[in-house]
Amino acid sequence: MTILVARDVAPHYAKGGSRPHARASGLTACLGYLRAGDVLTVLDLDRLGRRARDLIGMIEDLEKKGVAFKALNSPMDTTTPAGRAFLQIQAAFAEMERNLIRQRVNEGITAARARGRRGGRPRVMTPERLRFAQHLMADKSRTIPQICRELGDIPSSTLYHYLHADGTLKDPGQRLLASVAA
């Protein structure tokens, strides 16, 4: 966003997230806003589309609407045959780069799993805490906020995810305890 402002481009639509559905909704709104004579400016070609075929099709659609296209980090003129050829080559390389990144990430995850590493956020509820929570919930004089504080300030939603109000195990609680027994 800072680069766009530095180059006197008025940002109307910022990237909505790194997930495809978040990006697609912002892109759809942006494309609907564009009129003949406008210039769609992006930082890089790969910010506009993931696959070369989609990117080239989108730029063709923009041209039909009379909308110009500009990528700040890859100057090209899509109105000339040489510029269009350059666009296709660059789009193909951008797609290949994304595929290589995806492949390397997947290989890294596989290698980490082979070393016994697991990704993701660590669980707040451990089997020991779950058993202790059951013990605390058996004492009817304790309130749920007190129990949650004694368990290390866990959210009550986490407690109720694993246990019923009477202290019996829900399915996630049973699975957690079964994973230790296995």
- Give me the CATH number covering residue 33: 3.40.50.1390
Q: Output the tens digit of pLDDT for each of the chain's 182 residues.
A: 444 444 555 555 555 455 455 456 777 888 888 888 888 888 777 777 767 777 788 888 888 888 888 777 777 767 678 877 887 888 888 888 889 999 999 999 999 999 988 888 888 899 999 999 999 999 989 999 999 999 999 999 999 999 998 999 999 999 999 988 76
Total domains present in the chain = 2
Let me know whether 44 and 73 are in one domain. yes
- pTM recorded for the entire structure: 0.49
Tell me what pLDDT residue 1 has: 43
Q: Are residues 136 and 108 part of one domain?
A: no
Residues 67 and 34: beta-carbon distance below 8 Å: yes
Could you tell me if 65 and 144 lie in one domain?
Answer: no
Q: What gap in Å lies between CA 97 and CA 74, rounded to an integer? A: 15
Q: Residue 2's pLDDT is what?
A: 45
Beta bridge pairs of residue 42: 71
Whole domain around residue 27: which residue ranges?
A: 2-114
Domain membership flag for residue 159: yes
Please tell me whether residues 29 and 102 are part of one structural domain. yes
CA dist 49 → 23, 26, 130, 166 (Å): 9, 12, 46, 52
Q: How far apart are CA 44 and CA 41, in angstroms?
A: 9
Residues 65 and 44 placed together within one structural domain of the fold: yes
